[in-house]
Structure 1
Amino acid sequence: MIIAIDGPAASGKGTLGKRLAAHYGLRHLDTGLLYRAVAHAVLSAGHAADDRSRAAAAAQALDPTGFDEAVLKSQAVGEASSVVSAFPEVRAALFAFQQEFAAEPPGAVLDGRDIGTVICPQADVKIFVTASPEARAHRRWLEFSARGLPVAEAEVLADIRRRDERDSGRAVAPLKAADDAHVLDTTELDVEAAVAAAIVLVEARRSRA
């Protein structure tokens, strides 16, 4: 079984992906970490995030093992990842890895922004997770605060809005719900309620198989 979870930044798709994978005994891939790793490699080498050739080279040389999530989930890397992910060369370099991961038995849960539309259009279940920009910014601000990172919530909200516009407006693999995706709005849901709602969607799809 392949479960595709898409959605904007801080919608809760990553947490949902991990929980669904554990619930169904499937492997999980947070595809956003791949793009964050590319962005981090570019920034760490002293280049700007919009350096297209450097980003493409970093994607081609990427080693998906041993990611440091704490480093990759900083605000600066998140902003830069939204820039590098718009480059067709970067997306092409990471395309095969994502498809191969999904194809290995017994299946997988992948979360990102183009899983149901581009990476796994044949996925058994597609869920598009969303929430208001304000709710997502507050969640991300709480994450930063818990890690001791002094970031203003208004700054996080501005970053969320910029990323939404960039991710939805890019020419290649824009953020959007697949035509056959179930939309799950988590604005008013806590983690447990969101997971329970997602399981209902998966079970409904399995019962029709």
Structure 2
Amino acid sequence: MNNGTPIITIDGPSGSGKGTIAKLLAERLGWHLLDSGALYRVVGLLARRQGISEDAAEQLAALAREMPLRFDAEGRALLADEDVSLEIRSETAGNQASKVAAVPAVRQALLDWQRGYARPPGLVADGRDMGSVVFPNAEIKVFLTASAEERANRRYKQLIEKGLDVNVADLAADIRERDERDRNRSLAPLVAPVAALELDSTHLSIEQVVQQVLERVAQTFPDLL
């Protein structure tokens, strides 16, 4: 445990469903939730608003350290008093987040912030390096993936439901580009953590994935469920 706090990490590429799975697990277990991707999305949003280049490492790191960000009880991302929850979920925000996440100074600046979420009764953390870097001593590590085509189809349905005009082929191309960038960055690349439960959700329902993780929880924490 990390300071006495049990931790489950859910890592995986964009669109693999890790955010949905992490949220459901946190709700069922009554644990805290860390959506690490939201942190990078907010840094990317601020950088775009302030015209800061993705190459300006120190300026980006300063944004990460100083951003007035908090999450309310409903999980909304509040930047000062502005609710940016919807804005940071756009495709533009996702691509910008992937770019700033490749900057080592930004990752270092957010490390303590992320680790600060580990508090009783437990934490479910989702991202791309939760089990490999941020919480390497987590009791349960999950690496969730799916084919690029399936991930693009899922994202397409989400965006269409929001009334946005999108192209599934373009989404698949964006996902492959983001995967390449995440896997090949110099610091904390996207990898399956050691001893992780690796799940391919291409042909699994959300509930099937949740149940497989809960089975691992029952084995690891027999008194919990």
The aligned residue for residue 10 of structure 1 is 15
Q: Please report how far the alpha carbon of residue 54 of structure 1 lies from its aligned counterpart in structure 2 after TM superposition.
A: 3.2
Amino acid paired to 2:180: E
Q: 1:176 to 1:186 in 2, by over 3 A?
A: same
How far does residue 64 in structure 1 lie from its aligned partner after superposition?
A: 3.0
The correspondence for 2:151, drawn from 136, 139, 142, is 136
Q: Name the CA distance, whole Å, in 2 between partners of 1:89 and 1:111.
A: 20
What residue in structure 2 maps to residue 32 of structure 1?
A: 37
Whether the 8 Å CA contact 2:31–2:121 is kept in 1: the answer is yes
Question: Match for 2:8: what amino acid?
Answer: I
1:187 aligned residue (202, 207, 214): 202
Alignment partners' CA distance in 2, 1:151 and 1:23: 33
Partner letter of residue 117 of structure 2?
A: F
For structure 2, the residue ranges without an aligned partner over 5 or more in a row are 1-5, 72-76, 78-83
Q: Aligned-pair distance for 1:22? A: 0.8
**2: CA distance, partners of 1:142 / 1:46:** 31
Larger fraction in helix? 1
Q: Is the 8 A contact 1:31 1:98 kept in 2?
A: yes
Describe the superposition over 1:129-184 as per-residue Cα deviations: whole angstroms up to 9, x where unpaired.
11111111111111111111211111110110001000010110000011111101
- The alignment status of 1:150 with 2:165, answered yes or no, reads yes
The runs of at least 4 aligned residues of structure 1 exceeding 6 Å deviation read none
Given that 2:52 and 2:60 are in contact with CA atoms closer than 8 Å, whether structure 1 keeps it comes out as no
Query: Which residue pairs with 1:100 in the alignment?
Result: 116
Task: Give the structure-2-normalised TM-score.
Answer: 0.88
- Aligned-residue identity in percent: 42
Could you tell me which runs of 5 or more consecutive residues in structure 1 were left unpaired when the two chains were aligned: none
| TM-aligned CA deviation for residue 207 of structure 1 | 4.0
- Residue 162 in 1 paired to residue 173 in 2? no
Aligned 1:13-162 pairs, distance under 5 A = 13-66=18-71, 67=77, 68-102=84-118, 104-162=119-177
